[in-house]
Every structure is written in structure tokens, then in C-alpha cells.
Structure 1
Amino acid sequence: MTNQTNHRYKVGELRPSQILFSFGVGAVVDLPNLSVMVMGLEDWSTHGALELNEQRLLAAVRWELGHQVKQLLSPPTPEDTTSFNPFSENAKVGIPVAPFPSWMVCPRCRLLAPLSSGLFKLKESPYRPDQTSYVHTNCPKGFKEPSAIPSRFLVSCEKGHLDDFPWLHFVHRKNPDCPGRLRFEEYGVSGSPTDIFVKCDLCEEQRALSDAFGEEGKKNMPKCRARHPHLRHFDDSCDEQMKTILLGASNSWFPMTLSALSIPTASNQLEQVVEQNWTMLGKATTVDILSGILQAFQATGLLQELSKYPTDKIWAVVEKKQAQPQGNGDDESAKDLKSPEWEAFSTADPTANTPDFQLRKVNPPSGYEKRFSQVVLVERLREVRALVGFTRIQSPGDFLDSGEVLTDYRVDLSRNKPKWVPASEVKGEGIFLQFKEETLQSWEQSKRSQDYARQAIEAHNAWCAIRSLDPKIVRFPGIRYILIHSFAHALMRQVAIECGYNAASLRERIYSKLPGEDTGPMAGVLIYTSAPDSEGTLGGLVSLGEPKTLGYHIDQALEQMKLCASDPLCAEHTPSTGPISLHWAACHACLFSPETSCERGNKYLDRTLLVPTVLSGDLAFFGEAV
């Protein structure tokens, strides 16, 4: 990672997956001695980045961001070398960042000033990047120059703007032009805003930080300046009120990502191989160029699977694929990433297996043949994820519905329309369970289920009304989604005990559509795990998918759902209990999963739909089986 002020310095390291899910474009990275902002895509160098091949995902990204997007690129990484030279260009390959917030505090004299004042100087440490810091030159207290610390207060708004805390306006109120220096004083050890005061040396004005929070903050804080520091840009205007947040707050950055599984889309083996290597083969414009590409890559050990095919046959497939319309981002079907995956899983054709997608069909779980029509063991899978934007304050789960991204809340990754987006690929394994449609429809059509569905729709509409969201856009996913989602969480909690992976490394992918919907009906769930290395995972999850083993684990999962440690409070919870929410009988002690595991932010969960609880038993889909 580089610091982009006037010079480039390496200031730290991140894992590639963190660029998408923790510290992506627009996020604030809290380093040991620095706080930096990851800059927009215009500042990135694509040197050291690899192009990832996943045409379905690229089409979905084009639907969201425009047809000008040409590539999915991995974050740039420096080349592996035997010797480390911090002054080489290779050492400076990375993600561009800039210092943020720009206000620093001296821990000795408590001076609070911006970097633009010139009172703080960057002290580089080439061989120890984690020691790079800003120091307070000429500090009156102490012989050494103390390392300054970033101000831990920022302001943001729900439109995704982020800015430095308005210290001058906050302290001086009606006289922000006072030239006096500010001091950041803490009179207690708790770190509470009521114990923190900022005062001016010249006019002796002072103010407690507590005036910037809660109801007082609504009165005292100015309107948002509409700033995007990662783009070095201000929007025309913003009608939102500034909200004070803390540096490192979990709601300061939420990624908006799209993901797709690499499923076979070609009809024969040669077409499949060409599809898998399209990022390389698609650049050939003549048969001679294709021949040169094949020779160059096969000499390095790549594209060996094409060596058994004549070049003219390969060229015929490449030429045919190039002649196909590539889509310009206007095809609405491109955003539907799950329907083709559902088709692949429900068919489970072993002859269509590829090195990145290998399926094996087995019998339904023992004792649950009336609930599930089939189980598919996904012995190998590849998932590609792309970052398309981010939000602040409000999580994307609050207005994300089956790939529907509300652009009013999404912050752009670049000032101009991007020609590429950051992406990563992971490989792993999973278990796909398909619900029996006849049994599911019979359960949905019961009077008790229909009454529940009406109440759930009312709760969904009330939740949308509070957030000024249109229920026609943020659609209610249906009662079958709540059932499948709740079952997925219950099974993940049980499987994590046996499979050798921790709960945060398991993920769900839910397929749910009603019979009348486009490409419906769907009713299934993929529980999978993945890793960013070349081999993926080691089979610990797939081994649990055999009928007897899986039946046992479903038994155990449902048994745990009957009684929660928080009952009867958990069983009695409804969306209208307390603050409006979108879960029923679910909490951290029973159904909630880690943020990395759930695709809907622990919403639409209710264990009452699975098994009888201390409150109700007439809604349980698995009641008789249990």
C-alpha cells in the first residue's frame, strides 16, 4: 500500500480479500501509527493486477455500472522476489492511500491541527513500514518529536459523504476565522465525549464533544459538505445533516459486492476450456495470433488442456464466441446471477463437470426424504466477487434485494465511469439441498402460513417506511425465503461444529422463487466454504453431505432450534417488538450468523417456521419429522 501525498511510501499490507470486504475503495484503514483512506480507481495502477475470467459476473457488473466496464481485475500485488529492496519500484506496487482524517493530535502538548498547517512532518521508515508516522516538530513538551495520532472523530451522512470533523466551526461557533490554535483535552479516563473538551488558546473558547452527539448534535452540527475524500471531489449539494462518528466505526464503510459461481455454460469440452481461458484466448484476432498465444502459454505450463486440439478447431470456437453479442449492460437478465446456478445444481449433470465446478448427486438426507428432493455434493467450486460500490451509515442489507442495488445510496468507486472494478476469486466446496416443491407449496398454502405471510408483509412495509424505501423496489422475499434462510443458518451452526471450518468461513447462497415468478419455482440452499489459494478447501464439508451423516446433522440442528437460551423472550419476539426489525424468533444465541456468512444481514429469520417453540408449533415445516 502506498501513501499518495507528494511521494510514494509503503505504509502497510492488506490481504486481497480485505480490499473487497473490509478496506476497499473509500474505506479508512487504521494502521499502527497512521490512518489512511483508500483512494478511488483513478489513482490505482493496474500494474501487478490479474484479469479474472467470469463473463456472467462481468455482465452483471455492466448492468449496474455501465457497458464501459471491460475487466474484472484482482488488486495489484508486487512480484515475489528473493531479496527485499524498499526503494525499488516493485516494492511500491499496491493500493494507493492518502492520510485521513487530516487533523492530528499531539499526545504531549495536546495540539489539534490539520496536516496542512505544516506542524506535523511525515517520518518514513523504509524497512519498517508499520513505523511510518507523522511527528510533531518543535513540540514544546519533550526532547523527542512525539508521533502524532489521528483525530478519532469524523462526520458522515447517509448519502455516503465523509469529512473531517468541523473543529473550527464547532469550537468557535460564530467566529470560525479565529487564528488561535486548538487543544484537545481529556479530563477523564473513560474516553467519553462528556470528558473531552476542545479549546482555543487565543480566544479561550471551549466546548465538550458531547455537544456533537445525539439530539444536541442535530442542533449544533452544520449541514453536510457533500465531500468524497477518496475521489478528491465534492458533490453539488447534500441536504443531509452531518452525523458524528468515530474513527474505525463499523458503519463508516459497507461494501456492495456481486458474486457469481463459475458454472459450465458451453455444450462441449472444447468450448468449456475456451470459456474458462477467455481472458487470454479472447485477445486473438487471427489464427496466427492465436497460435502464438497457445505456444507462449503452453511453454510456461498453461493451457495444456488445449494441446490435444488442432489450432484450427480452437480458432473456430474462438471466432464463433467473438461473433456472439457480448451485451452492453442493457440486458436485464444479466443481473440474475442465481437462476443459471439453480439450473446447474438442480440438473447436476456429471458430464458437464469442469475443473472449477464438480458435482455429485446423492440421496436426500435420511429421515427427510419428504422434505428434500435431492442433495448435490459440490466437490469443487469457484466464486468470483466484484466490488461495485459502497455505502456509509446504512448497510446495503437494508436496501439490497436479490441483486437490486439502490443507486441513491451507493457511492461511486471513481470520479468517471469505471472501465474496470476490483475483484477476487476463491475456490472451495459445498453442499446443495433442494427442497421438495410439492411439500413446500402445501405448507405455504395452509391457512396458518398465509396469515403469517400477511403479517410478514406488513412488517416489511413498516420497516421500509421508516427508511423511506419503496416496498415495490425493496421487495418482500416471501415466506419460503424466510424458511430456507432460517434452515440455512440452523444447519451452518451445526455443520461448523463437525466440518473443521469455523462459523465465519461458511457462507450461504439461497435460491428462492415462487412458481409464478420468472425462472421459478426455486427452493434450495448452497452452504459452502472457500479459500483464496489455488487448491481451495480439503473436503471436510462435502464429507458431511452423505445421506446418513447429513440426516444426523439436520436432526441435531433442528433439535437446537426448539429451545433458545434467551427463551421465552426470543420465541416471543416479533418485528414490532421494540425497534422495527425484520426477524422474528431469532437472536445471537440461536439463529444469527457472522456477517460474512449471511447474505441478508441476519434479516428474515424465524425458527418458529422450522420447529415447534415454547410459543408456537403450528407453523413448523419440520414439525412431524422432528
Structure 2
Amino acid sequence: MENMQNFRRSQFVLTYGPGSIIETKKGPRIIPSLKNGLGLEFGGPLLEKNEILDSRIGSILNNGESIRVFEIPSNSRMGKSEKPLYITNKFPAWKICYKPHGSNGHPIIYDGRKHEKCPLCREKDGLNTGKDDPSIRFITACRNGHLDEVPWGDAVHNLSKIKKGKCNHDNSYFTWIAGNTFSTIFIRCPICGAETNMESIYQAGFKCKGRKPENEWVRKGKPSYVADAMHEYCNGRAKVMQRQSSSLRIPETITLLTIPVYDQAIYRVLNGPGVLSNVGMALEDHGSDKEDFLNFLGRHMKNKPFQGVKKCIEEYKFEEFKNFYYKLNNPDISFMDYMYEEFEALSIGSCESEDGNFMVGKPVDISGNEYLPDFQVYPVEKIKTVTAQTGYYRMPYSKDDTMPPIVDIGQNYEDDRWYPGFVGIGEGIFLRYNLSDILEKIACKKAYPAWKSKTNVSEMINTRWTKNVTNNPAFVWLHTLSHSLIKSIALYSGYSAASIQERVYLNGNLTGGGILLYVTMPGEDGGMGGLVSVAKNKPLLNKIFELALDNLIFCSNDPLCSKEVKNENRVNGAACHSCLLVSETSCEHRNMWLDRNIVMGE
């Protein structure tokens, strides 16, 4: 259908989500909040039917609320193959009519909320000129997550060097004088003649009105609108950006592997609807007596989940069952605790989980060289991931070096807070190193002391990864090698580099580290076997590592790239798009903590 645009669940979670602008055949649209986008569908039946039963996401957020994650269902699952499931809003509302207007024949820009058609030529959207998208490409954003139209009236009249007193223009349209650069694009008031250029508008800051268009009502066929009085208070400054800028909305996601301890019957049972809360109440009053515990649950739970708990207690014993519950319900567990668990599970090698969603084969030993220590490569034959998007942040240009606050996208329904997510199935390749071997290789590098220092800009970066991990030179070494491997493995595995994701590990006592490169996709069947076949082919592995090292030695931007040095104001050393930076879908560290010189430098 012309009014529909298809999205994969993984796209929605990893790239888009509430507050993002998508480009469609009908022009740019903003994805509303979960509640506004799903409309009447947002409720118990849809949420519970599509819930991802994994309590770990909630334990990481640990904000005192009941956290739950659901997959946005496909149209086929909902039985709505010809109807849009998630409604979007028009944004921005300002448009440009390219027809010549007035004696000088210039285009005009106009406010689509006030004028359905061009106010001068009366042509709708100016489409007679062959322009598919008449929407203006400029918007404003502030670091507090707000998004709005450019205040063209304020910009033109306040920044103009031509001062003509008070203007009675309603600020609903302006003359657009095109140019080749921002400094030669002028916007002029058709009434008083005041004008300014886009360069001045870009450099200026405007008072933020606290608008979040994703929270506004969906109005079919019309731009969304909420009165200023309903906006949030914000003391920030809004900066002009282009609506397709990658820094306009950066998603905040959590991805966890389903390792063996979380891929068994007891975990599935405890994650059933309402089970954890009922078990908690039962343990509080009857934790010392199994029969009293079961009698309490029998009175307060539905029969099916109760029978599941009863069976687990028979199989795992009451004490083991209680210990597993306390492990899941530990208020002090952190994201890093789960990372340490993942590393240990991957390092065991040659194992398969109870439910079969985690399968690792026998490792292949690879000999080191001048730049690499000896290491092991494990084929990860099956892997299951759970990913949730918890929020986003906006990064317009600012002199403020601190990270902007994260905008939470969760929506409340009854007593729970819901986030969008997806389950991925796929394959991977895992590389394991001893940290002492890595440090032996890099301690003599000129880049090492700068990374060893803890006083740098990365201290101000919001991340769930602790600073003693990301600031560790061995982590930077692993992360740098990981990016180079993504590019070289893509040539032999059948996957594009953008589809390969990474996870870099250091263990809890900082004695071991590793790199997991993996591909997952929603559905029962994930992966084509390309990464596993690479992991089992020692001659091919040697060839891939040789290519990865070549990519670190030579960069088309050298000598400019290689001369970049890590300092307290930089998150990277020698790293650029030609040699190390990869797709934002591949790197969970936003292309930070990279340096060719710590691997290949002097």
C-alpha cells in the first residue's frame, strides 16, 4: 500500500524507535511513542501475547518499576496484512514550494500547519515541479531530547542586519533565496524585507520550547500539534540540524546473550507472567517450608504456571530453586555482571545449553606473531540474543562536553513499564586471549601511556560498561582488532560488515579478554553458517587475520590518520572511516575507544 512502509522488528529497535524521523514516499514522518503509535492496540492482549520473557533487562534498569519487554508484532501475526499497525505523524510541517514567486522568481517556505497549499501559488506541495518531498530539511533539537520546527520568524527578524521596526507578518511563509552554501542561502520576510542566511541560523541558538512531537496526538493526514502550554519546561538552547543527521537521535539499547544458565526450564518457568512476584511473596512468608510454600502458590497462581513451579522444585530441589530465584532477583546485579557471565560461558567451549539456544564448538588454536599473541577461536554454532531499546539521546552541536541525558521511551500500562525489543537467533565466532599476553605486546607502544591514564574525556561518557574496562589499554587493543576483523571477515563469511555485530569482553579479575563477532536475526532460523565455517577453517582464519592487520597498518588517510594521538580531549587515537570506524549497528560503543597505534604503532 502507498500509505504503508515496512519495518523489521530489529530495525525498529536498533535504528529507529519513538522520536526518530523516517523518510517515506509521503515525506518525513516522526515515529510516535509506543502508546500513540499503536493506538488502541497498546494494551494487555498485545503486550502479553508478544512479551519477551527475560527478567534480566528489568534488573539492569533497576529503577524501582516492574520492567517488561515486548516484540512489536508483524502484520501477519496481527491479521492486518493490508493495514498499518503503527501510525506515524507528519514532521516537520514546514514545506518549500519550488515554483518561482514574485518579481524575482524565488521559491518560498511555508508552515504546513497553517497552509495546506502554497499560500501564493495555491499549488499543493509544489509537486508540479517534480520534487517528491517538499518538506524542509531543517529542524531544531536540544540536548534534553526536544525536537521542533525551526522558528523561522524569530530567526529572520532577530538575526537580520536590516532592522525595520515591528513587522506585522504572521510568520507563516518566507522567501527562500537559494545558494550553493549555507552562507549564500537567504531567507527573507516578504513584508518587511528583513533577511538572514542559513549560516547565521545554524550558528545561532534558540530558546527551546520543550516539545516532544512523538508524544503528540496522531492526526490523520495532518501534522501533529500540541499547544505550547502542554510542552515541558526546558532551559536549554535548541540548535538547527538537518533532519537526516545521524546525531539527531542515537538509540540506547541493551543486548544480552542467552547463555546456558538462562537457557533452561527453571529460568523459563520463573519468567512466566506473574511468577517472580508470587514466588517472592511465598518465599517471604514460607521460605523455610516447601509444603507451605507450594500451598501458598497454589492459592495465588493459575494452575499452569503453578504446575511449572512445582515440577521445577521436584527436578532442581527446593534449595536450588530458591537460590536461582535470589540470583534473578538480586537488586545489586549490574550489566557488567552479565558481561562477565557471558565471557565465562563462551570461554568454556564445546558445550550446549539445556534448551539448545547456546552451542559452542571446540576451539582452534592460532599462533601469534609480531603483533598478535597466541589465542583461541571458538565456533559459536547457535546463539540467542535479547535486545531492547530503552531510550535515546540527541546530540546537536554544543560546547558542553558532557553527555546529554537519555530520554526514556518506556510506556506504562497498568503496573508495568514496557519497552520494545526483539529476540534474535544466529551464529558467531569467539576469540579468547590472555590479558597478560596482550599487555606484553602493547606495553612498549608509544600510545600505551595515554590510554593507561584514567583522566580523559571518556570519564564523562554515559555507558553501562565500567570505566576500568573501557579505559583499559587491553580493551582498546581488543576493540580496535574487532573493528578490523569485522571488515575482513565480511569478505569471506557471506555477511555484510553492517550486519556483523561485536561484543568485546574483559573478565572480572582482568586476566582474560575476548571478542565475539555475531549475526542474529528475528525468527526461528538465524545465520547462514558463514561465521562458523570461518571459525573452523584454520588456513582461512590466518588469511583473515593477515588482512585485518594489513588494514591496521595501511590507511588511505595516512599520514594524517596515523599521526592522531590519544589525549584527554579525544576518545580515539588513530582511527577514521577509512580504516576502523564501522556501522553504528555493528559497534555497541559508538565507534569510541579505538587506536591503530596501540596495535601496530611503534
What TM-score range do you get, normalising by the shorter chain?
0.7 to 0.9
Q: Identical aligned pairs, as a percentage?
A: 23
Paired residues for 1:56-75 under 5 Å: 56-60=56-60, 62-63=61-62, 66-75=63-72
CA-to-partner distance for each residue in 1:439-486, whole Å, 9 max, x for gaps?
A: 235446x5x35x74432255x735359x7999x986652110111112
In the superposition, relative to structure 1, how do residues 171 and 414 fare at CA in structure 2: closer, same or farther (>3 Å)?
farther
Q: What amino acid is aligned across from residue 579 of structure 2 in structure 1?
A: C
Q: What amino acid is aligned across from residue 522 of structure 1 in structure 2?
A: G
Q: Tell me, yes or no, if structure 1 residue 197 matches structure 2 residue 193.
A: no
What is the aligned partner in structure 2 of residue 461 from structure 1? Answer: 455
Alignment check: 8 A CA contact 1:111 1:182 kept: yes
Quote the Cα distance in structure 2 between the aligned partners of 1:339 and 1:356. 19
What is the aligned partner in structure 1 of residue 19 from structure 2? Answer: 26
What is the aligned partner in structure 1 of residue 359 from structure 2? Answer: 358
Alignment check: 8 A CA contact 2:377 2:535 kept: yes
Alignment check: 8 A CA contact 1:42 1:414 kept: no
Q: Tell me, yes or no, if structure 1 residue 508 matches structure 2 residue 502.
A: yes
Q: Tell me, yes or no, if structure 1 residue 410 matches structure 2 residue 406.
A: yes
What is the aligned partner in structure 2 of residue 436 from structure 1? Answer: 434
Q: Tell me, yes or no, if structure 1 residue 570 matches structure 2 residue 561.
A: yes
Alignment check: 8 A CA contact 2:18 2:31 kept: yes
Q: What amino acid is aligned across from residue 600 of structure 1 in structure 2?
A: H
Paired residues for 1:133-532 under 5 Å: 139-140=121-122, 149-173=134-158, 175=166, 178-179=169-170, 181-188=172-179, 190=180, 192-214=181-203, 217=204, 221-232=205-216, 234-238=231-235, 240-265=236-261, 270-271=265-266, 274=269, 278=272, 286=298, 313-314=311-312, 316=314, 320=321, 324-325=325-326, 330-333=331-334, 336-348=337-349, 350=351, 352=353, 354-366=355-367, 371-393=373-395, 409-413=405-409, 419-443=417-441, 446=443, 448=444, 452-457=447-452, 461-463=455-457, 477-513=471-507, 518-532=508-522
CA-to-partner distance for each residue in 1:116-144, whole Å, 9 max, x for gaps?
A: 32x21xxxxxxxxxxxxxx5589446999
Q: TM-score, normalised by structure 2?
A: 0.77
Quote the Cα distance in structure 2 between the aligned partners of 1:582 and 1:67. 33
In the superposition, relative to structure 1, how do residues 286 and 452 fare at CA in structure 2: closer, same or farther (>3 Å)?
same
In the superposition, relative to structure 1, how do residues 437 and 144 fare at CA in structure 2: closer, same or farther (>3 Å)?
closer
In the superposition, relative to structure 1, how do residues 181 and 136 fare at CA in structure 2: closer, same or farther (>3 Å)?
closer
Q: What's the RMSD between the two structures over aligned residues?
A: 4.2
Q: Tell me, yes or no, if structure 1 residue 41 matches structure 2 residue 41.
A: no
Alignment check: 8 A CA contact 2:142 2:396 kept: no
Q: Tell me, yes or no, if structure 1 residue 78 matches structure 2 residue 75.
A: yes
The correspondence for 2:591, drawn from 563, 577, 602, is: 602
In the superposition, relative to structure 1, how do residues 172 and 324 fare at CA in structure 2: closer, same or farther (>3 Å)?
same
Quote the Cα distance in structure 1 between the aligned partners of 2:532 and 2:366. 13
In the superposition, relative to structure 1, how do residues 167 and 142 fare at CA in structure 2: closer, same or farther (>3 Å)?
closer
Alignment check: 8 A CA contact 1:139 1:145 kept: no
Quote the Cα distance in structure 2 between the aligned partners of 1:162 and 1:539. 43
Quote the Cα distance in structure 2 between the aligned partners of 1:399 and 1:416. 33
In the superposition, relative to structure 1, how do residues 234 and 337 fare at CA in structure 2: closer, same or farther (>3 Å)?
farther
What is the aligned partner in structure 1 of residue 528 from structure 2? Answer: 538
Quote the Cα distance in structure 2 between the aligned partners of 1:496 and 1:440. 25
Quote the Cα distance in structure 1 between the aligned partners of 2:353 and 2:94. 58
Quote the Cα distance in structure 2 between the aligned partners of 1:399 and 1:225. 23
CA-to-partner distance for each residue in 1:228-267, whole Å, 9 max, x for gaps?
A: 22234633232x3321111222211100111100111169
Shift of 1:537: 0.6
What secondary structure does 2:409 align onto? coil
Quote the Cα distance in structure 2 between the aligned partners of 1:495 and 1:145. 45
In the superposition, relative to structure 1, how do residues 183 and 609 fare at CA in structure 2: closer, same or farther (>3 Å)?
closer
Alignment check: 8 A CA contact 1:57 1:337 kept: no
Quote the Cα distance in structure 1 between the aligned partners of 2:436 and 2:78. 59
The correspondence for 2:85, drawn from 65, 77, 93, is: 93
Quote the Cα distance in structure 1 between the aligned partners of 2:546 and 2:123. 67
What is the aligned partner in structure 2 of residue 53 from structure 1? Answer: 53
What secondary structure does 1:606 align onto? coil
Quote the Cα distance in structure 1 between the aligned partners of 2:108 and 2:355. 62
Quote the Cα distance in structure 1 between the aligned partners of 2:313 and 2:564. 62
Quote the Cα distance in structure 2 between the aligned partners of 1:590 and 1:186. 40
In the superposition, relative to structure 1, how do residues 205 and 346 fare at CA in structure 2: closer, same or farther (>3 Å)?
same
Quote the Cα distance in structure 2 between the aligned partners of 1:351 and 1:500. 25
Alignment check: 8 A CA contact 1:486 1:606 kept: yes
CA-to-partner distance for each residue in 1:285-334, whole Å, 9 max, x for gaps?
A: 6499876689xxxxxxxxxxxxxx99962575699579935867842435
In the superposition, relative to structure 1, how do residues 73 and 311 fare at CA in structure 2: closer, same or farther (>3 Å)?
closer
Alignment check: 8 A CA contact 2:175 2:190 kept: no
What is the aligned partner in structure 2 of residue 621 from structure 1? Answer: none
Quote the Cα distance in structure 1 between the aligned partners of 2:67 and 2:125. 55
Alignment check: 8 A CA contact 2:111 2:172 kept: no
Alignment check: 8 A CA contact 1:52 1:279 kept: no
Alignment check: 8 A CA contact 1:105 1:184 kept: no
In the superposition, relative to structure 1, how do residues 428 and 372 fare at CA in structure 2: closer, same or farther (>3 Å)?
farther
Quote the Cα distance in structure 2 between the aligned partners of 1:97 and 1:25. 10
Q: What amino acid is aligned across from residue 211 of structure 2 in structure 1?
A: R
What is the aligned partner in structure 2 of residue 303 from structure 1? Answer: none
Quote the Cα distance in structure 1 between the aligned partners of 2:449 and 2:155. 49
Alignment check: 8 A CA contact 1:339 1:519 kept: no
Quote the Cα distance in structure 2 between the aligned partners of 1:41 and 1:282. 26
Shift of 1:568: 3.3
Quote the Cα distance in structure 1 between the aligned partners of 2:231 and 2:496. 42
In the superposition, relative to structure 1, how do residues 228 and 317 fare at CA in structure 2: closer, same or farther (>3 Å)?
farther
Q: What is the number of residues matched between the two proteins? A: 538
Shift of 1:385: 1.0
- More off after superposition, 485-494 vs 194-203: 194-203
What secondary structure does 1:150 align onto? coil
Quote the Cα distance in structure 2 between the aligned partners of 1:242 and 1:82. 42
- More off after superposition, 382-391 vs 520-529: 520-529
Quote the Cα distance in structure 1 between the aligned partners of 2:498 and 2:142. 29
Q: TM-score, normalised by structure 1?
A: 0.74
Quote the Cα distance in structure 1 between the aligned partners of 2:329 and 2:112. 45
What secondary structure does 1:569 align onto? coil
Q: What amino acid is aligned across from residue 515 of structure 2 in structure 1?
A: V
Q: What amino acid is aligned across from residue 226 of structure 1 in structure 2?
A: G
Shift of 1:93: 2.2
Quote the Cα distance in structure 1 between the aligned partners of 2:212 and 2:309. 51
Alignment check: 8 A CA contact 1:162 1:227 kept: yes
Quote the Cα distance in structure 2 between the aligned partners of 1:608 and 1:143. 53
Q: Tell me, yes or no, if structure 1 residue 16 matches structure 2 residue 18.
A: no
Alignment check: 8 A CA contact 2:349 2:363 kept: no
CA-to-partner distance for each residue in 1:402-460, whole Å, 9 max, x for gaps?
A: xxxx7x5211215879711011121111111110344235446x5x35x74432255x7
In the superposition, relative to structure 1, how do residues 313 and 212 fare at CA in structure 2: closer, same or farther (>3 Å)?
same
In the superposition, relative to structure 1, how do residues 115 and 315 fare at CA in structure 2: closer, same or farther (>3 Å)?
farther
Quote the Cα distance in structure 1 between the aligned partners of 2:76 and 2:277. 24
Quote the Cα distance in structure 1 between the aligned partners of 2:308 and 2:195. 80
In the superposition, relative to structure 1, how do residues 241 and 288 fare at CA in structure 2: closer, same or farther (>3 Å)?
closer
What secondary structure does 2:361 align onto? strand
Alignment check: 8 A CA contact 2:448 2:598 kept: no
